[in-house]
Amino acid sequence: NYHFYPKKDFVGKKILITAGPTREPIDPVRYISNRSSGKMGFAFAQAASLRGAQVRLIAGPTGLRTPYMVERIDVETTEEMFKSVIDNFEFCDILVMAAAVSDFKVDQRYTKKIKKKNNLELNLISNPDILKEVNLLKKNQIVIGFAAETENLSTNANKKLVEKKLDYIVANKIHETGFPFGSENNEVLILSSSGDYYELNSTKINIANFILDIIKEKI
């Protein structure tokens, strides 16, 4: 059981992890976000730290406790997460992009609370793609992306693996019930750029440790 008897096999390795949702303010009291709990990314941070890695965790708003010996940077918006990832990318040997990054933001944030009315139109514009920018800075780092899909899991994940030039992608099948959001468990497909394929149904902690086991061979 990894959780209680960790091997110290990541000593000297630096891992940058993003976790949780990002949040895009509409006005001072409202925001756009998503159902990410942050548990997968936090589990990854905990697993890596227990195995001896130096871990920096860039966290969106989650309400989760910082795992033992993890250095945490809190962010709110995609733009803030973007800046933080770029600033910290050089530090790491491995980047784990578990965050559910908001693809859109409102183009003009209201400075005053919007009052109740019959109709409200918000104009949403696209946020930067963090992984796309990371690619331009990539040296020898291993980059792991995540994907949440409600349909065509392996096709969509494979597309992202290629387009985002990832070393690995961890694809979640999102059920109609909302599983695995907020759960301690997860059901994932892991695809690698070299064609490896794994299917896993386990706790988020075990999945994190499994991924650490497979990347260990590459570093």
130 binds ligand CTP (CB under 6 A): yes
The footprint of ligand CTP on residues 38-97 (CB under 6 A) is: 78, 97
d(CA 78, CA 52): 29
Please name which of 126, 10, 23, 5 lies closest in space to residue 81, comparing C-alpha atoms: 23
Biggest alpha carbon distance in the chain? 59
d(CA 102, CA 21): 7
Please name which of 214, 155, 216, 180 lies closest in space to residue 36, comparing C-alpha atoms: 180
Give whichever of 28 and 178 is closer to ligand CTP, judged by the CB atom.
178
Query: By Cβ distance, which residue is nearest to Ca ion?
Result: 103
The footprint of ligand CTP on residues 154-173 (CB under 6 A) is: 160
> Exactly one of 88, 129, 198, 203 binds ligand CTP (CB under 6 A); which one?
129
Minimum separation from the CB atom of position 62 to ligand CTP (A): 14
Binding residues: 103, 113, 128-131, 146, 160, 164
Minimum separation from the CB atom of position 57 to ligand CTP (A): 14
* CB 105 within 8 Å of CB 123: no
> Exactly one of 131, 161, 188, 191 binds ligand CTP (CB under 6 A); which one?
131
- The residues with which 172 forms a beta bridge, in sequence order, are 148, 188
153 binds ligand CTP (CB under 6 A): no
E strand or H helix at 40: helix 39-50
- Using DSSP, state whether 125 is helix, strand or coil: strand
The residue count for binding ligand CTP (CB under 6 A) is: 14
Please name which of 146, 150, 148, 185 lies closest in space to residue 168, comparing C-alpha atoms: 146
Residue 152 known to be catalytic: no
Answer with the entry of Ca ion, ligand CTP, none that 97 interacts with (C-beta below 5 to 8 A by kind).
ligand CTP
Give whichever of 32 and 69 is closer to ligand CTP, judged by the CB atom.
32
Instruction: List the catalytic residues.
Output: 34
